[in-house]
Chains A and B, each alone.
With several copies, the nearest count.
Chain A
Amino acid sequence: MAARRRPSRPVIDKIVPTAAAAVADVHDGATIMVGGFGTAGIPFELIDALIATGARDLTVVNNNAGNADTGVAALLKTKRVRRIVCSFPRQVDSWVFDALYRTGEIELELVPQGNLAERIRAAGAGIGAFYTPTGYGTQLAEGKETREIAGRRYVLEYPIHADFALIKAQAGDRWGNLVYRKTARNFGPIMAAAAKCTIAQVASVVGLGELDPEAIVTPGIYVHRVVAIADAATPAVAA
């Protein structure tokens, strides 16, 4: 009898066959959040597929601005990124960004890392703006509204929304539920909630119900497409 109640076909199936199919509709001018911190959590294969689409005039939101010549750096190298929003672009192997920045070929919005995370979280949570103590009195708060609340001084910061989020997780199911791996979790869960369309590459797709409901980090409601990319090991990164 239980079998007769089962749907004849799954009506929610967010699994897409390839990275190319997952990013095919990214449009020129899109704002794209890219998960990851250093190389951990960077969805390399989704970024490569994005590059292949030829989409241009993009805004990228990522903690860093690319390492070496892969991932976000490879995307920047195409010169199709107009603007990057990040907290830490300067790394020993961020030569692609460095060159573009010095020649004025990319705009940089530098955001303290916690404000970056909280602004992304605010977008997903429907918060219109928030007062943060981080950055008060510094160059990164210049021109921003400030306020003293209960004896402490704060800066008003606004949400960061995106058209697409490209993230990497450890496992996902056809409803889009995700779990992550160690510190590769980082920006994935908050970016998933902040984008109109969230695309997750996962090391493995598992059956519905196989993920422990107590341990699911990103509920499927935030994820629109899941693509299995096996053997996507995280490379070392220069500090």
Chain B
Amino acid sequence: MKRFTHDEMAARVARDIPDGAYVNLGIGLPTRVANHLPPDREIVLHTENGLLGMGPAPATGAEDFDLINAGKQPVTALPGASYFHHADSFAMMRGGHLDYCVLGAFQVSVAGDLANWHTGASDAIPAVGGAMDLAIGAKHVYVMMEHLTKDGASKIVARCTYPLTGLACVERIYTDLAVIDVTPAGLVAVDVVPGLPFAELARLTGVPLADGSAAVHVA
């Protein structure tokens, strides 16, 4: 079965974010979206640890570990960037000022509930970071994740079995198989990886899923 690569997923997310947007990219897969934001567009990246206007990674040897992103990787600051402390940074998130955030996930429910901070395993060390703040803070919350677990189970579920990050917060899910909108009427697949019949996607997903890809392709 063909799948969208991580870079294809990231490129698609990047294409869906409008010019001028203020965006936070979560740790892991979402970080890759930054590589696909074309230089002729101005999209302002926020990092929870106190920087708006984050630029790309520095050249090797030019790293400054006082200038890092949420994943503790060295970054740069663009002209127009500003620094602020943690309460101000999370006020920016919680106050609904960011247009988009893109998060990784373990599970997303049909209601848009998000589980991405804890597997619930009894021996796991829990760590939440800023995930819960982003989940409830940004105007649009997008998720990027594999469609299926390694065991082939759908990560899109009727009800999350992993501990929740936020309730009814996810608006759109980008997976290696499809792009799926969470709507009041239920999940709608707006794009499917070429070669995968919608019926097969629906079977793999295992929860009610409407086919919205035709409408999108026409538009």
A124 pairs with B95, CB closer than 8 A: yes
Residues of B in contact, count (CB < 8 Å): 67
Chain A residues within an 8 Å CB radius of B127: 87-91, 110
Given contacts A137-B166, A186-B49, contact A113 B90 (CB under 8 A): yes
Residue of B nearest to A222 (CB): B97
Residues of A in contact, count (CB < 8 Å): 82
The segment from A22-30, A32-40, A53-61, A71-79 that touches chain B is A32-40
CA distance A137 to B111 in the complex (A): 14
| Distance in Å: Cβ of B136 to nearest Cβ of chain A | 5
A117 pairs with B86, CB closer than 8 A: yes
A113 pairs with B48, CB closer than 8 A: yes
B63 pairs with A236, CB closer than 8 A: yes
Give chain A's interface residues, CB within 8 Å of chain B. 5-8, 10-12, 37-41, 63, 87-91, 94, 97-98, 101-102, 108, 110-115, 117-118, 120-121, 123-127, 132-140, 173-175, 177, 180-190, 193, 208-209, 211, 213-214, 216-217, 219-222, 233-239
Q: List 26 A-B contacts (CB under 8 A).
A: A6-B39, A37-B86, A88-B128, A88-B129, A98-B125, A102-B125, A118-B91, A118-B94, A120-B86, A120-B87, A121-B91, A124-B95, A126-B91, A134-B132, A136-B166, A139-B164, A185-B83, A185-B84, A190-B86, A208-B80, A213-B53, A217-B85, A221-B98, A222-B97, A237-B72, A238-B72
For the complex of A and B, the 3 pairs showing the least CB-CB separation, nearest first, are A209-B79, A114-B90, A126-B94
